[in-house]
Every structure is written in C-alpha cells, then in structure tokens.
Structure 1
Amino acid sequence: WVVGAGGAWGVLSSAVFPGLGAWVTGAALPPPPLGAWYADDPEQATHQAEISSYTTHQHREAVVGAMAVAAAASLAAAPGGPPSPEDLLDGVIALVPRSAVGAGLRRARDMLDYRDAGTVAAVLGNGRRTSAHDTVPFALWSAARSLGDYEQAFWVTAQAGGDVDTTCAIVGGVVASGEAGAPPAGWLAQTEEPPAWLTPLLR
C-alpha cells in the first residue's frame, strides 16, 4: 500500500534492516520459472533474476540467492537433460559473485558425497535463520542430488527440518524446471485448478 500511495519501491525496499535491505529468502522463491525460460542461457537467467529481485530485496545476499536459484533452474532445464550434481553446482558457483551465498555453495559442492541431509544442513543451514545464505546452499545441494526425481528431492529436503516450506519450494522449482523432474502425477492430481483467467497463459 505504501507503493500504491506513491512511494518509490527502490527506496522502500532498501530502507529496511538499517538501510541494507532484506536478506531473507523471499527473493529466492520466484526464480525457477525464470531459469526454465532461459534454459539455453543460464547467464541471462542469472542476470534477469538479479534485476527482478531488486523490487523486493535489496540486500546483496538476497539478490545473490535469487541469482543462484535461477542459474540452477536454467542448468536443470538444459535441452540436453539435467547435468550431474557436480556440474550443476559448479555452474551455479561460476555465475554468482563472491558472497556468503557463494561460500555456502562451495561448501555444498564439497559435501555432495554426504548422504544424510541433516548432517549437511547442520553445516550449510536449513533456513531456520530465514536468510538467503542459510537456505539457498542447502536447497541447491538437495536439488543437485535429486535432479530427475522430484519426490526424492522433496523428502530429502523435508527431513532436514528448518524452514521446510521455503527449502522444498526452492528445490521443487529447480528440479521441476526440467521434464525429467516433473512432480508425481498423483501429487499433481491433488492440487487445485488454476483460476480461469490464468488457464490460457499455461497453454
């Protein structure tokens, strides 16, 4: 309502948290469709995610979190099929600037051979602190290990606890960006139908 009253979004979104902007995970939730749209151009997906995040999140870590998720979705949706877990995280790391999120992604890359999500979350975070660097590295670790298997990705992510709705939303978006990672048909059957005005846009 403040924007509607004439406030400038750039000023408003950067004014919170002593002028640094929010570093929470909200900016990392919308990018998967953007990444899928740029399936053949992860660099452009990353750039567009950076631009789009500024309207709501100005803190650099929040912006980098959005960039990382868009890059991961773009790589997962590559026309040649999903990459290996190592290639996915290497590709994301190469596309994001130096940051706490980036440092977390490098740790995530080093932990790809770990099997227990709880152990990994104890190192990377599981969103409990609701910051981008406490959420995105773990979410992309989980997505990278389960590309092509939406259900497995979901349950591996959920078992780590923390901000489960956020981490599962990020992981689900990344994994579902490629055809190989479509949600189970039984799950889709339980979802609500989209509103009538949206249906033509989905065709």
Structure 2
Amino acid sequence: MRVVPLGAYFADDFGRVVREAAASAEVTHLHHEGVAGAIAVAVAAALAVSDQDRHGTALLDAVAECTPPGLVRDGILDARTMRDAGAAAALGNGRAVSAPDTAPFCLWIAAHFPEDFGAACWATVATGGDVDTTGAIVGGILAARLGISGLPAEWLHRCEPLPMWVSGGSERT
C-alpha cells in the first residue's frame, strides 16, 4: 500500500519500477509474495501514469507479466475473468492480511473502475476486510491515473488543504 508513489515516480522505466518495488518491499515484507504484491501494485501505478488507455483485462495482463510467479500473480490472472462484485469473495479483500489476499482484488477494482475514483473506493470498502490497505492501494492507483481533477470535488472540499507542491501553486483552502 506504500508503493504507489514509487511506481508513479519511475513510470518511464518499468524495469526500474520492478527493481525499486522489490527493494522497498524486502525491508517490510519477509516473504516473496509480499514482494510480488508490491511489484504488482507499483507496476499498476506506473501504468496508471504512463498508459492511460490500458485498463480492464489489458491492465491486468500487463501487471501479471511483470509480477513474479506465485499466488499474487495467479490471483491477478484469475482476476481477468471476474466480472462482478463477487470478485472480492474469489480474490480476497485483505482479511487474511497477505498480498495474495489483497493485491489481485485491488487491481481488479482499478481495472474495472478506471475513470470513477468514488465508485472504485466505495466498491473497495464495501467488501470489508483490510479496508485501509485496499483503499490506499485502489485510491493511490486511481489518483495516479486521474490526477486531482479526477477526485470527487466534495471529497476534496472536506479534506485538509493539499500542499503547494501538489498543484505547483498556492495551497487550496
């Protein structure tokens, strides 16, 4: 859930996205599936920035291609066939607090709600589970894709001001 900015930052170099995501996850996740989950999420963030026409199955295929073999990758490949809200039951919602139970579902949401930040967030938290992690992953990927203008205006109005560096100008009040 912390790797989205890394993927967005290195979006012009997918090899580097994979290397940096793995290096960042090895410090916090002592399991190869945790590293694979970080790689998958970082690659999705990089694609969100660099290839905005890629969503749905094409997004999932591209992420799976960069994800090391294992349960996370298998879940992403399974997510390609999911068509409805039952995806959380099949893929997981983070309740098991593991990357294979979190990353595939989050990527499914990002792939199926590429233009609707609010709907994606509501669909994510409605499944329960580890909603702070799944919400952070989904929200991060879609914010990287849509930018500030793609976030619900009412949500922006109700949060603290964004720092000046976000917009390159003065703080929003």
TM over 0.5: yes
For 2:110, what is the secondary structure of its paired residue? helix
1:66 and 1:145 map into 2 onto residues whose CA distance is 20
2:115 and 2:81 map into 1 onto residues whose CA distance is 21
Greater shift, 31-40 or 180-189, is seen at 180-189
Q: Percent identity?
A: 44
2:36 and 2:92 map into 1 onto residues whose CA distance is 16
TM-score calculated relative to the size of structure 1: 0.76
Quote the residue 1:16 is aligned against.
none
1:30-41 correspondence runs (5 A): 30-41=2-13
1:149 and 1:200 map into 2 onto residues whose CA distance is 25
Quote the residue 2:157 is aligned against.
189
CA deviations over 1:22-81 (Å, ceiling 9, x no partner) = xxxxxxx11111111122223321221111112222211111110000000111111x52
Greater shift, 135-144 or 37-46, is seen at 37-46
1:201 and 1:151 map into 2 onto residues whose CA distance is 24
Deviation at 1:187, TM superposition (A): 0.8
Quote the residue 1:54 is aligned against.
26
1:94 and 1:33 map into 2 onto residues whose CA distance is 20
Q: Which runs of 4+ in 1 moved over 6 A?
A: none
Structure 2, unmatched stretches of 5+, are 169-173
Quote the residue 1:14 is aligned against.
none
1:201 and 1:183 map into 2 onto residues whose CA distance is 17
CA contact (8 A) 1:82 1:178 kept: no
CA deviations over 1:155-187 (Å, ceiling 9, x no partner) = 111222211121111101011112368321221
Q: Considering only aligned residues, what root-mean-square deviation do their CA atoms show, in Å?
A: 1.8
Structure ranking higher in helix proportion: 2
CA contact (8 A) 1:75 1:82 kept: no
Equivalent of 1:169 in 110, 126, 136: 136
Structure 1, unmatched stretches of 5+, are 1-28
Equivalent of 1:85 in 53, 56, 63: 56
Greater shift, 35-44 or 94-103, is seen at 35-44
1:69 and 1:123 map into 2 onto residues whose CA distance is 19
Corresponding position: 1:75 with 2:47: yes
2:75 and 2:45 map into 1 onto residues whose CA distance is 18
Q: Rg larger in 1 or in 2?
A: 1
TM-score calculated relative to the size of structure 2: 0.88
1:101-140 correspondence runs (5 A): 101-111=72-82, 114-115=83-84, 117=85, 119-140=86-107
